[in-house]
Chains A and B, each alone.
Chain A
């Protein structure tokens, strides 16, 4: 008796492939939003904007201090109880909001560290020519901080891609959700989850190539 159904695994590839765009879509949108939010949070922390700075500290503390799954449940199942209009929120939207907030908290701290690492002379040169804080951040400081933060941020993106699998707990049929359904009907759990693991693995490996290219590009200004 065969304990390992290779034919089933091969057949599963095209089925699961259809769900890759949703997984990548959720991950990309969350990452883009999280990056913007994380930059804002980091700048608020570095420039010590009154009031906002305290709020930001609390925000980061909460989203780093509680499990992502708890946050997702809180958004999807909890909030509509308080605000009935949120019942219309789809699982995908809730997952994107949850992933964005969760990862922005982590990324804000990496970006903050990278901003602080930019040499003081760069700040002073920007100030001396009359740039506003926003101009200085956007044009001089953040681009230099990005080079330092890039490897860490790609790591968070990798983590984020894999974390989209939690969306299946909100009823979203993404890669993991689809695999779960396939396994439940075929009872071939090992084969199904090996295939889905390989899917995530391949996606992350492709991303690692992109990471190398990105780092090379950002290092242009420091390469002799």
Chain B
């Protein structure tokens, strides 16, 4: 169970996150939608402490962190409990596809090199890149790089996957393969918090849809309700613009 309470983040006095309360059940897939610049990505980044929120608490399982007093040890614990899939893949440019997946297992989680490489090879097989283990990121297509990014994020079986607009930096031809893979791993009972602009994908994988605007959660609910009969006029307005319906 993941609980976020009263999360606030300011940039130069302006709130980007303005009191976020959010619950995510184990195995649940929560999708955040909303206009650009409303703090969706910032929320994900604050959970992983890539950005430091100013107020609030983040609880993942038995770990509970007050962000305003978080110690380096707590930050590391939060990072080990979560994994991040980046919009721009962010594969380590100096590491092969295999090493990108094995690196965290080996260096941070203390796996042996052989174990970590075995896990990486199994995952590469699973994501359809079994023959690309020795390839460096620069020689992979955008779609392949993001699949390795997904492999890196699932390697350690974290309690929460943070997925930040996983297809928005991709050429249209690669979007589908990445979404297919994400759907497949969503079926494996993983807990996910996803920011996406792909509404049909959101509809397919979400157990809960959260609509954010102006650093606040405006409305949340099951996808069938959110996509067909949202209550708040702002949600309706956003969905009308993005889906062209309602």
Contacts and interface: CB of A to CB of B under 8 A. Distances in A.
Interface of A: 119, 121-122, 124-132, 135, 139-140, 143-144, 147, 220-224
11 contacts: A124-B84, A124-B90, A127-B50, A128-B83, A128-B84, A129-B104, A130-B76, A130-B109, A131-B108, A144-B93, A147-B94
A121 B107 contact: no
Contacts of A119: 93
Contacts, number: 69
A122 B50 contact: no
Contacts of A140: 92, 94-95
B107 A124 contact: no
A132 B104 CA distance: 11
A144 B94 contact: yes
A220 B107 CA distance: 23
Given A124-B90, A125-B91, A130-B76, A135 B138 contact: no
B57 interface: no
Contact of A129 (B108, B136, B137): B108
Interface residues of B, number: 28
Contact of B48 (A128, A135, A147, A222): A128
B94 A130 contact: no
Given A124-B50, A128-B79, A128-B84, A222 B93 contact: yes
Interface of B: 48-50, 76, 79-80, 82-84, 86, 88, 90-95, 103-104, 107-109, 136-139, 152, 156
Nearest to B82: A128
B50 A121 contact: no
B138 A222 contact: yes
A121 B149 CA distance: 12
Contacts of A125: 84, 86, 90-92
B48 to A, nearest CB: 5
A65 to B, nearest CB: 34
A139 B104 CA distance: 11
A148 B156 CA distance: 32
B139 A135 contact: no
Q: Residue among B107, B109, B137 with the most chain A CB within 10 A?
A: B107
